[in-house]
Amino acid sequence: MDTSVWVAIAGLFLLSTAAAAYEIAPASVAPTIMGDLGIGQARAGWLVSVMYAVAVATSIPVGAALDRTDLLRAVAAAAVALLVAGVWGWVAATRGDYLGLVVSRMLGGLAYVTVWNAGANLAGRAVPPRHQATAVGVFTASAPAGFALGQLGGPLIAGAAGWPAILPAFGVLAVAGIALFWWAVGGRAAGAGEVEPPTRAEFRRVFATRPVWVICGMGFAAFSLYLFLNSWLPAFFEARLGLSLAATGLVVAVFPAVGVVARTGGGVLSDRLFDGRRRPVALASFALSVPVVVALAFVGTVVPALALLVVAGATIQLGIGLLYAYVREVVDPSVRGTAVSLLTSVGLLGALVAPVGAGWLIELTGTYELAFFAAGVVGVGGGALALVAPEPGS
């Protein structure tokens, strides 16, 4: 396969990594932001949450639009919009304009969901079918890579140039990513003319296709587990293991970090070991992760906690990247953008609901065990869906 294809995917990976870093970066300097803007934890948290909310609300319309437009130009426009959002946020932050900062983050959220949905489609289209899950898995590994970059790079940038500088900095990196992608594909239009735009009947059929909803249900379960652990492990380990917040943060950072390998690995396993079958990897992801998630509730020392954390991070994320290749394969080519966007919307809904639901259970019982057990039940539901999920083309 032409090396320019993998250079193009590397450009998409860099673009999406920058977008994810932009999304999470305010969390890395939250105390500084709260002090400078005079806001509390809830309003500071909204600087990250608003991007998830925008993504859930706009993912499906964005996907429908992507099915009718040139994907290359769409993703390039999204990269520029991310830079604009970063500069806008920097201006608002330096002026102490919290509302302006939130609105800029809403534009960033729209740009990110466009990058994510278009990027998954472009990565899948760039390679032959036998490599599709691998390529899409590599692309989706950009999310944990970006989270790691944002969490580690945010404080460094803030220390050197002030915390508002974290916003445009990752926007510049996004433009570098799209430039690399554009150079690799020679500026050719990606998506336009390859398939006819979908009719209204074809668009509606996506929402009436059972395999699509089965895969979306697995996405809801996988993202729920992922965000539940990402959100509550720091507080849980601090309370259970007696670690400092700094040490806890270092330990918990392992969880998304292993996703860079796991999300890529899920696609490689499906394409090579299982000869393009998707269900075995999806089922293994849930079957392996559920007992580990439940076991974490009873851990009492650092070494077992770290071991379980690595296994949980790997097994939960093993199937996430694969689902984005999977959902493209159970619909007509003309509506693949819509199918990917529906999966994004439903998955991120799980990401929004799970931390809140877990917090309610923890407050209700005063312990963490029931929350971990509930997460295990969600994982069992995901595994049950994997059992009945059809293979593409079956």
| Residue 140 tokens, joined | 């989706």
Q: Taking residues 75-100, what's their average pLDDT?
A: 95
Residues 281, 285, 289: CA angle, nearest 5 degrees: 165
Cβ proximity of 60 and 204 under 8 Å: no
Lowest mean pLDDT among 25-29, 314-318, 328-332, 371-375: 25-29
**Of 174, 194, 214, which one is at a domain's C-terminal end?**
194
pLDDT value, residue 311: 94
Q: Is the pLDDT confidence value at 189 over 60? A: no
pLDDT in the model for residue 93: 95
Q: What is the pLDDT of residue 187?
A: 62
The reply to whether 298 falls in a domain is: yes
The pLDDT tens digits for 2-49 are 678 888 889 999 999 999 999 988 887 878 888 899 988 778 878 888
Instruction: Decide if 212 is inside a domain.
Output: yes
**Residues 101, 230: one domain?**
no
pLDDT band, very low/low/confident/very high, at 188 (cuts 50, 70, 90):
low
Distance CA 218, CA 214 (A): 6
Q: What is the pLDDT of residue 82?
A: 96
Q: How far apart are CA 373 and CA 370, in angstroms?
A: 5
Q: Confirm whether 279 is domain-assigned.
A: yes
Q: Does 256 or 229 have the greater pLDDT score?
A: 229
Q: Is residue 93 within 8 Å of residue 161, measured between CB atoms?
A: no
The predicted pLDDT at position 245 comes to 55
Residue 7 burial (CB count, 10 A): 14
Q: Is residue 199 part of a domain?
A: no
CA 226 to chain centre: 10
The whole-number average pLDDT for the span 312-336 is: 89
Does 201 map to a domain? no
d(CA 29, CA 38): 14
Question: Binning pLDDT at 50, 70 and 90, where does residue 249 land?
Answer: low
pLDDT above 90: percentage of residues in the chain: 41
Average pLDDT over residues 261-272: 88
What's 193-209 look like in SS3? CCCCCCCHHHHHHHHCC
Residue 392 has pLDDT above 90, yes or no: no
Contact criterion met (CB below 8 Å) for 135 and 124: yes
Q: Are 115 and 15 in contact (CB under 8 A)?
A: yes
Q: How far apart are CA 328 and CA 276, in angstroms?
A: 13
The CATH number linked to 16 is 1.20.1250.20
Return d(Cα 2, Cα 255) in angstroms, integer: 34
Say which range, 104-118, 129-143, 317-331, has the weakest mean pLDDT.
129-143
Tell which phi-psi region holds residue 390, choosing left (phi > 0), alpha (psi between -120 and 50) or beta.
Answer: beta
Residues 172 and 214 in one domain: no
Residue 30: Cβ-neighbour burial (10 angstroms; 0-12, 13-18, 19+): middle
How many Å apart are CA 227 and CA 375, to the nearest integer?
10
Q: Name the residue with higher pLDDT: 238 or 281.
A: 281
**Do residues 189 and 58 both lie within one domain?**
yes
Amino acid found at 282 = A
Q: Give me the count of residues in the chain.
A: 394
Measured in whole angstroms, the distance separating CA 269 from the mean position of its chain's CA atoms is: 20
DSSP state for residue 330 in the 8-state scheme: T
For every residue of 12-68, DSSP letters joined together read HHHHHHHHHHHHHHHHHTHHHHHHHHT--HHHHHHHHHHHHHHHHHHHHHHHHHHTT
More confident residue, 101 or 329: 101
Structure confidence at residue 192 (pLDDT): 44
The pLDDT of residue 66 is above 60: yes
Statement to judge: residues 88 and 182 lie in one domain:
yes
Residue 28 and residue 163 in one domain: yes
Q: Please state the rounded mean pLDDT for residues 354-382.
A: 90
> Which one-letter amino acid corresponds to residue 273?
L
Give the domain range for residue 73: 1-194
DSSP state, residue 269: I
Asked if residue 156 and residue 290 are part of one domain, the reply reads no
Same domain, 176 and 275: no
pLDDT of 193: 47
Per-residue pLDDT for 190 more than 50? no
Which range has highest mean pLDDT (4-8, 72-76, 355-359)? 72-76
Which residues, in sequence order, are CB contacts of 392 under 8 Å at separation 6+?
276, 278, 326, 329, 330
Domain boundary among 194, 220, 250: 194
Q: How high does pLDDT run on average in the chain?
A: 87
200 falls within a domain: no
Residues in contact with 231: Cβ distance below 8 Å, sequence separation at least 6, in sequence order: 354, 355, 358
Buried b (16+ CB within 10 A) or exposed e, 164-193: bbbbbbbbebbbebbebbbebbeeeebbee
Is residue 375, in this structure, part of any structural domain at all?
yes
Q: Are residues 382 and 265 in the same domain?
A: yes
- Report the distance separating Cα 184 and Cα 382, nearest Å: 38
Predicted model pTM: 0.83
Residue 280 lies in a domain: yes
Which residue from 118, 166, 131 is spatially nearest to 341, judged by alpha carbons? 118
- How far is the C-alpha of 69 from the C-alpha of 358, rounded, in Å? 40
4 vs 265, residue with greater confidence: 265
**Residues 354 and 213 grouped into a single domain:** yes
Residues 325 and 385 in one domain: yes
Task: Verify that 230 and 355 share a domain, yes or no.
Answer: yes
- Host H or E run for residue 285: helix 279-296
| Alpha carbon of residue 324 to chain centroid | 11
Q: Which of 141, 172, 194 is the last residue of a domain?
A: 194
Per-residue confidence band for 267, with pLDDT thresholds at 50, 70 and 90: confident
| Residue 159 and residue 94 share a domain | yes
Number of domains in the chain: 2
What is the dihedral sign for C-alpha 147, 117, 14, 318? Answer: positive
